Structure 1
Amino acid sequence: MMTPYKLIRKPPWGVGLAMLAFTTPALAAPPGDLAFGAYDPPGQFSSDGEVAIEHLFLPWEDVFLGSLYDADTYAKERNRELLVTIEPWTWTRDIRNTPEFLINGIRTGLYDSNMSAICAVLDELDSDITVRWAQEMEDESGQFIWSDWEPTIYVDAFQRMINVCRAVAPDVQVMWSPLGHEGLEDYYPGDDYVDVVGLSVFGLQAWEREQLGDEQEFLDIFTPRYERVKGFGKPVMVAELGYVGDADYVSRWENSVRQDYPQFPQLTSVVYFNQQEVHPWPDGYGLPNWIVTERVLGQ
């Protein structure tokens, strides 16, 4: 069995790559009929035949692109597609650019070569590939330097980067992936630039109880987000999914996230984010640990 060579999202040690051994038992996907995927640095879903999508994150600066070939082999051995999230920055925090520098760099073509280099490698891979660029662009939390821009600026940047990518990788699918908040439609780059829409859905029981006054179910969070994107007429994925709480809370989520709901005809798949959060949750709730073996609290 191959050890997964993962592109790790913003790791604390400041590099983009790590060779991770299987140190935990293989886990099963949640019950249901929807296609299931995972961003899975620990390799906990490595032998689960129900996992159809392998999610990778990589920055477009300071990244070893040769690792994508290993990821392709890993996915092919398991009959999985690749969802590749490209984040337009470096994961080395103390040398990250400002939003203004990034905007100007994209506008002037400074970053064309970064996007082109990644997509040229993706074009050489055998797996079916979906590219997800600069996700959650309407988020106002300050997590990403590409979020909360003026919508027209983001749309121009998205269109430019997808044009650059398609010039060298014409067969990739393109995901536009808002968080799901009100106003997301202002950031839509147009039907010609979107093959699939991705959304993010995270449930944190303690935060919901104390800040909202009641626990949220998967449908409570997902439904309004789906309603905001269904009018685009594109397939919809939950590109990032996680939930943390007590055993009953996690069980309710676990048994609802892969169901084939008739009210969501465009929903095709859900992709679990099997990693601890790297950006603090609002209101002082720290870094929730979405890893499946850690997410049940009070055990």
Structure 2
Amino acid sequence: MKNKKTRTAIVVSIATLVLTGSVLAASIPRGIPTGAKPVATGNLGDKRPIIGPDSLTFGAYDPHGDFTDDPNSKIEHLFLPWEDVDLSTLSLADEYAQKRGRKLFITVEPWSWAADWRSSPEALISGILAGRYDANMAAVCSTAATLKSDVTIRWAQEMDETDNQFTWAHWSPADYVTAYQRMVTVCREHNKTAKYMWSPKGEPTLSAFYPGDEFVDVVGLSVFGLQQYDRDHLGKDQTFAEALSSKYRLVKALGKPIVVAELGYEGDSDYVRSWAEDAAKRSPEFPDLTAVVYFNDKEVYPWPRPYGLPDWRVVREATN
């Protein structure tokens, strides 16, 4: 089970924007950390996936900078809306990734992060199909085309979720497919080198949303482990492999490389150790799995009661 997003933890090395104590949404993408390091309790990095010489490619969404100097991280994950965003700041992300030998992975969310400015599901899909948002996608992709880093673009993720989180998850599968195909077509007109990720949550209905092989270079999945949820709903601790297996089976037949685009886990030390040891390990059970990307932040969209906002972050901030 994984509920999330609206990503209100802000990004980029030009720092978190704060006004009268509250975060200003939008204006910049989210993911590149400030230079500030947190004060941590316990062992620094005790939740990090364990990377060995034969591990999968590893990366992170890392707004706090916990992976800034980690040589194992090869993918820098950013989120950005396609409205009310300063795309020029992507050059900062590019510079950050280049200095660390990382590729850029950009999740484009087709809305504004200012919640009171968002369109209804009906208005958004009608606008996309009418071409009113072509310029938004063109702006993102033409800017991404100027970057030096290799870029993968993930548009409108987790369209199959049922948690009432994303506007685009309220669309019919046919409308989603048409919209996704249109956005990739627009993007390709302005960016000849980017790869495109189709990224369902992993629900049984996901195949209805598949836009077709020519529009997908790689498939992304979201995999999160919360120990208390596992015990309450499964009667036991779930392993990483168990959490991934049903999702993996649903997309394996597509014949595309598979990435865990968002990964997180939280529980006691044994639970965390099990996930950390297995998440980036190559396994014959998942031969098409090529990379895992950690979601290194606190949850921002509440899980069902009583689970609240799980903290996926690998480093704990000190508390008084």
- TM-score after normalising by structure 2: 0.86
Question: What letter is aligned with 1:200?
Answer: S
- Cα distance in 1 for partners of 2:170, 2:139 equals 27
Relative contact order, higher structure (CA 8 A, sep 6+): 2
- Cα distance in 2 for partners of 1:255, 1:101 equals 45
- Cα distance in 2 for partners of 1:186, 1:294 equals 39
| CA displacement, residues 198-231 of structure 1 (integer Å, 9 cap, x when unaligned) | 0000001111112332221101110111110010
Other-structure match for 2:51: 31
How much has 1:149 moved relative to structure 2?
1.9
Question: What letter is aligned with 1:15?
Answer: A
Matched, 1:91 2:113: yes
Q: Which runs of 5+ in 1 are unaligned?
A: none
Other-structure match for 2:246: 224
- Cα distance in 2 for partners of 1:273, 1:247 equals 19
- Cα distance in 2 for partners of 1:205, 1:83 equals 28
Matched, 1:210 2:232: yes
- Is the contact between residue 6 and residue 41 of structure 1 (CA under 8 Å) also seen in structure 2? no
Out of 143, 146, 150, the residue aligned to residue 121 of structure 1 is 143
* Aligned residue pair count: 290
Change (3 A) 1:157 1:4: closer
Other-structure match for 1:152: 174
| CA displacement, residues 133-175 of structure 1 (integer Å, 9 cap, x when unaligned) | 0000000110100014211100000000011111000210000
Matched, 1:20 2:42: no
Percent of residue pairs identical: 49
- Is the contact between residue 7 and residue 56 of structure 1 (CA under 8 Å) also seen in structure 2? no
- Cα distance in 1 for partners of 2:15, 2:89 equals 7
SS at match of 1:232: coil
How much has 1:7 moved relative to structure 2?
9.4
- Cα distance in 2 for partners of 1:14, 1:147 equals 25
- Is the contact between residue 181 and residue 215 of structure 2 (CA under 8 Å) also seen in structure 1? yes
- Cα distance in 2 for partners of 1:261, 1:7 equals 38
SS at match of 1:276: coil
SS at match of 2:84: coil
How much has 1:30 moved relative to structure 2?
2.2
In terms of mean alpha carbon deviation, does 92-101 or 50-59 score higher?
Answer: 92-101
Question: What letter is aligned with 1:31?
Answer: I
Question: What letter is aligned with 1:21?
Answer: G
Question: What letter is aligned with 2:219?
Answer: V
- TM-score after normalising by structure 1: 0.92
Out of 188, 194, 197, the residue aligned to residue 219 of structure 2 is 197
- Is the contact between residue 29 and residue 51 of structure 1 (CA under 8 Å) also seen in structure 2? no
- Is the contact between residue 107 and residue 154 of structure 2 (CA under 8 Å) also seen in structure 1? yes
Out of 178, 199, 205, the residue aligned to residue 183 of structure 1 is 205
